[in-house]
């Protein structure tokens, strides 16, 4: 354990009884302050320290996927930097890529607070944020102020549907955001799997999804990789149908998975902050409880496609063992969020160090050789 887990996390999680969303905002504001003052001596010192303690470079960890080069397979999942205000800092924290958003066409405040809860007994979080963000125009303005050389890692942008937009107009809503941002992101994700926007998950049905895919790909004309993010709660036949449609629509890959609505595996029974049972509180569960299911979905997709459709695996990754499980099930890349908030900024380096050890132990020359090899 490091100083974060021994001292900082207990202080934030228990002693101060701080609102998780407030802590998140304060952390992001600090990172934004560092990111937005590149010539400041303090910023230069901070970035140099971040690189020293959190970054690990090794050619065995490098991959090229859908036309992009990834220095390592560990990325920051969507949801942490919703508006892209710290877009240039993630490379200094060891990440091989970062996904901004979820961003919607219209600015929206999200759901009422409190809407983010930690479940320490389960190493999990419950959130019903509701795509709170400043809108795609604001993100575009923020990113347009950056020099392209500011980013040494691929930057993805996760697109969601605005709450005020009717479901039948979803494709137009996604298209509007994509048109604003298409020159500013390296890849894009169609998020139809958040449980916190009413009716959104119905867009995972084939016909609405086909319209969204076709609309964005017609605008895209093959210029940028577009992926889709799916829920872990879909039936196998529905996942299979989404995979087939993704291939037919020439999507670049699938992100598996979003948060789950399943509470059956939780140890937590009561949310202390509200006094309500965990089943009474709306929202999706992230962290350790979704690990096994997301891995099963990854394995299913990899087997169905024969590894021809790249997968970004997300859900319950805390350690190198968790990351290895996702990769050997079929994920070429992985993303972290909840595990990172529990384990702190040293987690990425520990995962990468562990992955290198696993490659060496198995006589593999690169991380790509481990993708989909199964348990060994």
Among candidate residues 184, 202, 129, 194, the one with its CA nearest the CA of residue 160: 194
Written as six digits, the tokens of 322 are: 């968790």
Give the tens place of pLDDT for each residue, 158-169: 999 999 999 999
Q: Is 264 one of the catalytic residues?
A: no
pTM: 0.95
What is the tens place of the pLDDT at every residue in 87-139? 999 999 999 999 999 999 999 999 999 999 999 999 999 999 999 999 999 99
The residue ranges of every structural domain in the chain are: 3-370
Give the separation between CA 75 and CA 99, rounded to whole angstroms: 7
Going by pLDDT thresholds of 50, 70 and 90, the confidence category of residue 11 is very low
Both structure tokens of 266: 């939780």
β-strands 276-277, 270-271 pairing: antiparallel
Residue 133 is inside which H or E element, if any?
Answer: none
CB of 336 closer than 8 Å to CB of 76: yes
What is the strand order of the sheet 124-127 is part of?
Answer: 116-119, 124-127, 284-287
Among 271, 367, 374, smallest CA distance to 65 is for 367
**In angstroms, rounded to a whole number, what is the distance separating the alpha carbons of residues 47 and 49?**
5
Number of other residues whose CB lies within 10 A of the CB of residue 272: 11
Residues contacting 347, CB < 8 A, separation 6+: 318, 336, 339, 340
- Start-to-end CA distance of the chain, whole Å, equals 27
Alpha helices in 123-282 (DSSP H): 136-144, 170-181, 206-220, 236-248
Give binding residues for substrate as ranges: 82, 127-131, 191, 196, 258-259
Task: Give the rounded distance of the alpha carbon of 313 from its chain centre.
Answer: 9
Cβ count within 10 A of residue 178: 22
Binding residues: 78-82, 102, 127-131, 158, 191, 196, 229, 257-259, 287, 316, 337-338
Mean pLDDT, all residues of the chain? 94
Fold of 3-370: TIM Barrel (3.20.20)
Q: Is 173 a residue whose pLDDT tops 80?
A: yes
Catalytic one among 136, 177, 193, 194? 194
pLDDT in tens, 26-63: 999 999 999 999 889 999 999 999 999 999 999 999 99
What average pLDDT does range 177-195 have in this prediction? Answer: 97
Query: Which tokens sit at 232?
Result: 């872990």
- DSSP state, 128? -
- How many angstroms separate the CA atoms of 371 and 376, rounded? 12
How far apart, in Å, are the Cα atoms of 19 and each of 270, 271, 373?
A: 17, 13, 42
- Whether 300 and 235 have beta carbons less than 8 Å apart is answered as no
> Alpha-carbon distance 186 to 107, whole Å?
22
Residues annotated within a binding site for FMN: 78-82, 102, 158, 191, 229, 257, 287, 316, 337-338
DSSP summary character for residue 11: I
């Amino acid at each position: 354990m490091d100083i974060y887990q021994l001292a900082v996390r207990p202080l934030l999680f228990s002693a101060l009884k701080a609102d998780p969303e407030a802590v998140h905002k304060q952390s992001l504001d600090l990172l934004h302050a560092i990111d937005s003052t590149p010539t400041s001596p303090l910023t230069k010192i901070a970035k140099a320290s971040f690189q020293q303690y959190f970054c690990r470079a090794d050619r065995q960890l490098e991959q090229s996927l859908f036309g992009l080069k990834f220095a390592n397979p560990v990325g920051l999942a969507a949801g942490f930097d919703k508006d892209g205000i710290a877009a240039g800092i993630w490379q200094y924290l060891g990440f091989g890529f970062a996904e901004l958003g979820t961003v919607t066409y219209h600015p929206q405040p999200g759901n009422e607070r409190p809407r983010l809860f930690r479940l320490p007994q389960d190493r999990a979080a419950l959130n019903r944020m509701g795509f709170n963000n400043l809108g795609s125009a604001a993100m575009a303005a923020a990113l347009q102020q950056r020099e392209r050389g500011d980013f040494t890692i691929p930057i993805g942008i996760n697109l969601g549907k605005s709450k005020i937009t009717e479901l039948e107009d979803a494709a137009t809503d996604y298209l509007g955001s994509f048109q604003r941002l298409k020159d500013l992101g390296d890849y894009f994700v169609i998020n139809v799997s958040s449980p916190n926007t009413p009716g959104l998950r119905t867009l995972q049905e084939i016909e609405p999804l086909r319209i969204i895919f076709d609309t964005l790909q017609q605008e895209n004309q093959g210029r940028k990789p577009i992926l889709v993010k799916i829920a872990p709660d879909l039936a196998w036949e529905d996942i299979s149908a989404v995979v087939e449609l993704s291939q037919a629509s020439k999507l670049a890959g699938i992100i598996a998975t979003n948060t789950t609505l399943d509470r059956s595996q939780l140890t937590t029974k009561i949310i202390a902050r509200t006094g309500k049972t965990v089943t009474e509180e709306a929202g999706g569960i992230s962290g350790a409880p979704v690990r096994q299911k997301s891995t099963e979905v990854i394995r299913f997709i990899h087997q169905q496609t024969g590894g021809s459709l790249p997968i970004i695996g997300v859900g319950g990754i805390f350690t190198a063992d968790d990351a290895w499980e996702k990769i050997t099930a079929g994920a070429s890349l992985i993303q972290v969020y909840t595990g990172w908030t529990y384990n702190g900024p040293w987690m990425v380096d520990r995962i990468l160090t562990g992955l290198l050890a696993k490659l060496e132990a198995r006589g593999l020359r690169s991380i790509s050789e481990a993708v989909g090899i199964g348990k060994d």
